Structure 1
Amino acid sequence: MKINWQGVFPAISTQFHDDGSINFASNATMLEALIDEGIDGIIALGTVGENASLSAEEKRAFIEHTVATVKGRITVIAGCTENTARAAAQYVNDLEPLGIDGIMLLPAVVYRGTDKEVLAHYQYVARSTRLPIMIYNNPVSYGVDIDLDMTAILAAEPNIVAIKESSTDTRRITELQSRFGDRFTIFCGVDDIALESMLLGATGWISGLTNVFPRESVALYQLARAGRIEEAREIYRWFMPLLRLDTIPTLVQCIKLAEQMLERGSENVRLPRLPLEGEERAYVERTVNTALSQRIDLSKFNLN
């Protein structure tokens, strides 16, 4: 199965009204802004999208609305976070007719499976759909590491085509390439090792802070891919305090507060998450305001 997934893919937030219902109009506005600012694709209903906080009906309605808004202008990949393989397969089957481009599949949540069980989960879902699938490997958050030997088994599934590598170990990117060549498209899934990952050959970046600063994210990606390392470092050094916000347990609240500060969305989240307060909130505000005061003029890089 051939895909062309590359570039900057924000893991978009799900916007909510004050009463907790989905704010579809705000999500459409956010998507239009991201597309205008040059992003290449999105992950809808990933961790930042609060997937597990939405009902089955809400998830399907959100994806349908997202696909209809995008109208094929960028790649749309849907996060799949379910408790069982059967529920994950049903969710994926429901999304197929909506025009989604692919699935980012997590291991079954709540129950931490053995390696054999994790493989069975991925195999079951992959064999239930024709959609291309991205493995989401995030042992830090989910306690499951889909290692090289497990990946070798999943390589036999033709529609498992990509990996979001979030182990935080940049050596894994080289190891994947050495063992599998170009069998998988590899995305960096950790914001604060983005430049390192791209220089090692990751062809995509799935990011939370890209929602807030998409132009800088796209510029960083383009400079890295062009081998313009010194210029990429300048953006990366400016970006790093912001990117750190994507690596802590309250990353969703951090990103949504930053979106609100730049009038790109609302900080509203669903329980059990709560908006940031006190020093946590002040830290995000200081970080964002410092970045804004030191924002780099991207025009000097002469990028398309």
Structure 2
Amino acid sequence: MNWFGVMPAMTTAFDEHLQVDHAFMQRHAQWLLDHGCTGLVMLGSLGEAATLAFEEKVAVLKNMVASANGKAPIVAAISALSTTEAVSLAKAAEDAGCSGLMVLPPYVYRGDWREMKAHLAAVFRATPLSCMLYNNPVAYGTDFLPEHIAELAEAHKNFHSVKESSTDVRRVTAIRALVGDRLKIFVGVDDAIVEGIAAGACGWIAGLVNALPAESVALFHLAYEGKTKEAFELYRWFLPLLRMDTLPKFIQLIKLVQQELGVGNARVRPPRLEITGEELVETKKVIAEAMKHRPKIKEAAFASVAMR
């Protein structure tokens, strides 16, 4: 498992009956990998994991492992209400052929550090798979401080990476100050990627990449290679779209961008509903304005991606 580069937090596509559209997801995955994405993260927040049954999650993982066909690792996000269910999902991900796990705190219950440490330890120990910790205090209310992360790194040899989504880029340097290069740090919010790389991050769990992989991969590499002027030119263009990743309706918004660009549809499972009215009009204006000034980056047409 190589924790590096742009790894999409893939959306889960639904058909007109709101059932998982596995055929589309296979095609989408191949298109993302063809644009230089280095892995695929399934069943995360953007993947609407909370609306999927256990069996649906396993089916998604198996399909993505088959779709990648060894080209890139598939990472399973492990989120559940209980530690028992999280452990079961981790084991199912290993059985499905996944290469890594992205481990979340338990849904709903916001425990203290003793409880959260026990939860993470159970998942880390459930398989030998390489693990990433997902820290998102804004969304989940549980904050894994740099000191907590250092303690976990000392205790678990298969803990290799952190997805840092606190929105505070200083966390990247704080973690590195404690653990050095022991952990690979990924930025988990789209509108902090350039700053995060400057602070020492080496990867991006990205959202808008689902619709714009060429631009996302180009932005990452420009920033990582220290091409500051070119990176900020592309970043300025991209930011109105990247900021959609930080809003409460980020799933609806990113899926709408996919639909507007012809690489998916806007369907979401309840309790989420597709955006409508003035909100829809204004969002489409933002997308249209961005597309009017879209930079010239080599883009493989989605329709040309053959089913393999």
TM-score normalised by the chain length of structure 2: 0.95
Question: 2:219: which partner in 1?
Answer: 220
What secondary structure does 2:186 align onto? strand
Q: What does 1:98-247 align with in structure 2 at a 5 Å threshold?
A: 98-155=96-153, 156-247=155-246
What secondary structure does 1:141 align onto? helix
CA distance in 2, matches of 1:286, 1:80: 36
1:291 deviates by 0.8
Q: Which amino acid aligns with 1:273?
A: R
Q: What does 1:74-85 align with in structure 2 at a 5 Å threshold?
A: 74-85=72-83
Question: Deviation per CA, 1:156-182, whole angstroms, max 9, x where unpaired?
Answer: 111111000000000000011111001
CA distance in 1, matches of 2:20, 2:134: 25
Q: Which amino acid aligns with 1:71?
A: N
The answer as to whether partners of 2:134 and 2:164 remain within 8 angstroms in 1 is yes
CA distance in 2, matches of 1:283, 1:48: 22
Question: Deviation per CA, 1:23-43, whole angstroms, max 9, x where unpaired?
Answer: 111111111211121211111
1:49 deviates by 0.5
Q: Percent identity?
A: 42
What secondary structure does 2:205 align onto? strand
Root mean square deviation of aligned Cα: 1.0
Question: Deviation per CA, 1:207-234, whole angstroms, max 9, x where unpaired?
Answer: 1101111101111111111111000000
Question: 2:42: which partner in 1?
Answer: 44
CA distance in 2, matches of 1:133, 1:108: 16
Q: Which amino acid aligns with 2:251?
A: V
Over 2 Å off, 4+ runs: none
Question: 2:54: which partner in 1?
Answer: 56
CA distance in 2, matches of 1:283, 1:8: 29
Q: Number of aligned pairs?
A: 297
Question: 2:304: which partner in 1?
Answer: none
Question: 1:302: which partner in 2?
Answer: none
1:278 deviates by 1.3
What are the ranges of 5 or more consecutive residues in structure 1 without an aligned counterpart?
300-304
CA distance in 1, matches of 2:281, 2:5: 32
The answer as to whether partners of 1:5 and 1:75 remain within 8 angstroms in 2 is no
What are the ranges of 5 or more consecutive residues in structure 2 without an aligned counterpart?
299-308
CA distance in 1, matches of 2:13, 2:165: 25
1:283 deviates by 2.2
CA distance in 1, matches of 2:78, 2:146: 22
1:148 deviates by 1.7
TM-score normalised by the chain length of structure 1: 0.96
Question: Deviation per CA, 1:113-147, whole angstroms, max 9, x where unpaired?
Answer: 11111111001111121111100000000001000
CA distance in 2, matches of 1:274, 1:248: 15
Question: Deviation per CA, 1:95-117, whole angstroms, max 9, x where unpaired?
Answer: 11211011111001111111111
The answer as to whether partners of 1:39 and 1:218 remain within 8 angstroms in 2 is yes
1:152 deviates by 2.1
